[in-house]
Amino acid sequence: MAGVLCFGGSRELHRPSASRHPALVGMARYQTLQKIGEGMYGVVYRALDRITNEHVAIKRVMLDADEGVPCTAMREISLLKDANGCDNIVRLLEIHVEHGALWLIFEHLECDLHHFLTSTNQGLPLSAVRPLLYQLLLAVHHCHANRVLHRDIKPHNVLMRRTPATEPGAGPDGARPWTLKLADFGLARVFNLPLRAYTHEVVTLWYRAPEILLGLRTYSWSVDIWSVACLLVEMLNGKPLFPGDSEIDQIMRIFRGLGTPDADRWPSIAALPEWKGCYPKWRAQPWAQLVPALADDPSGQDLLARMLWYDPDERIAAFDALAHPFFDGLDKELFHAATRR
């Protein structure tokens, strides 16, 4: 059995048809080159599209003999369709069911943020971070506007490519030298009001919001904002903000950095299942110490403080973050024009 889907709407991708190449139908169209990733729900390969001669990323998900397509894969496909329409979200090009597996064909990007930061071996300048953060917030806002929680925003799931020379802002001195795209919706969920209970076993530990660490089950979009803030600091510092090795170590690192929260800063904290009133009472470290690159940037400090706000109900939304003065001076039309194309 073989099936193909192309997701369209305002971002319809016109794929060259395989009908002119009868020998290249289905997965025969793609030549696997190398494995580039492996997760809980599948293996990802870099491959060559034999028709377009372009690289793609292929995610292989094995089918269950009794259940068929795993519910996790169906959820990812559905949520990617819901999130379609933003140039800063990775595009799902086709779906094939062949050889006992589900094959998801994605556009391929040069690297992820983790490898990009590793290759530089240092933090990025503010001039480079601003356009990257703005694009990430565009993706997150688009998800949240479509009621999608990503729940696993981390450097490995943020993909990057050099902006093509044919697009505005390209080049090392351009306003948008790199195009950024949010990927891997395997842990994503749809959220509605009233909020429903979710598992706390989401979001890689270093990027996990404190409300999840403290046992809150009815969390919402604010958990993604916390993760984005951690990525902002990692881009500037060149290393993770809170690299804990266990859940208790993670929450302790957060408290040591941002100060131990109390009822004034987080009114509902005493009701959280894992909250202990006996935590050490640390004072918040100065932003200039936590993020030296923001020492002389009050607007950057303010945005970061709003994104790392303890009370999730008061944490800044992606929509409001996009309008923050930190991004004054950016040619925002470049990024919105890319999304409208």
Q: Which amino acid is at 305?
A: A
Which residues are known to be catalytic? Answer: 152
260 is a domain residue: yes
Are 312 and 191 within 8 A, CB to CB? no
Tell me the Cα Rg of the chain.
Answer: 21
End residue of a domain, out of 107, 134, 153: 107
User: Do 266 and 183 belong together in one domain?
Assistant: yes
Which structure tokens are listed for 170? 């390209």
In sign, the C-alpha dihedral spanning 125, 127, 130, 135 is negative
Judgement on whether residues 221 and 291 belong to the same structural domain of the protein:
yes
How is residue 185 annotated by DSSP?
Answer: -
Q: Does residue 244 lie in a domain region?
A: yes
In CATH, what number is assigned to the domain containing residue 207? 1.10.510.10
Angstrom distances, CA of residue 288 to CA of 117, 130, 233, 237, 293: 21, 18, 12, 11, 7
Are residues 102 and 127 located together in one domain of the fold? no
For the record, the structure tokens of 95 come out as: 């779906």
Do residues 178 and 98 both lie within one domain?
no
Q: Is residue 1, in this structure, part of any structural domain at all?
A: no
Q: How many domains does the chain have?
A: 2
Q: From CA 123, how far away is CA 7, in angstroms rounded?
A: 36
**Do 93 and 137 reside in the same domain of the chain?**
no
Q: Which among 107, 136, 153 is the end of a domain?
A: 107
| Enclosing domain of residue 60 | 9-107
pLDDT, one tens digit for every residue, the chain (341 residues): 455 444 443 333 446 666 566 667 899 999 999 999 887 678 999 999 999 999 999 999 988 777 778 877 888 888 888 777 899 999 999 999 998 999 999 999 999 999 999 998 889 999 999 999 999 999 999 999 998 999 999 999 999 998 887 777 776 667 778 999 999 988 888 876 544 555 555 568 999 999 999 998 888 899 999 999 999 999 999 999 999 999 999 999 999 999 999 999 999 999 998 898 888 999 999 999 999 999 999 999 999 999 999 999 999 999 999 999 999 999 888 887 655 45
CA 206 to chain centre: 14
Instruction: Please tell me whether residues 97 and 242 are part of one structural domain.
Output: no
Domain boundary among 107, 142, 164: 107
Transcribe 6-49 into DSSP letters: ---GGG---PPPGGG-TTS-GGGGEEEEEEEEE-SS-EEEEEEE
Gap between the Cα atoms of 281 and 83, Å rounded = 41
59 is in an annotated binding site: yes
Q: Is residue 309 part of a domain?
A: yes
Do residue 141 and residue 64 come from a single domain?
no
pTM equals 0.88
Task: Specify whether 185 is located in the same domain as 45.
Answer: no
- CATH of residue 36: 3.30.200.20
**In terms of domains, do 157 and 236 share one?**
yes
Say yes or no: 227 and 333 in one domain: yes
Task: Say if residue 100 is in the same domain as residue 135.
Answer: no
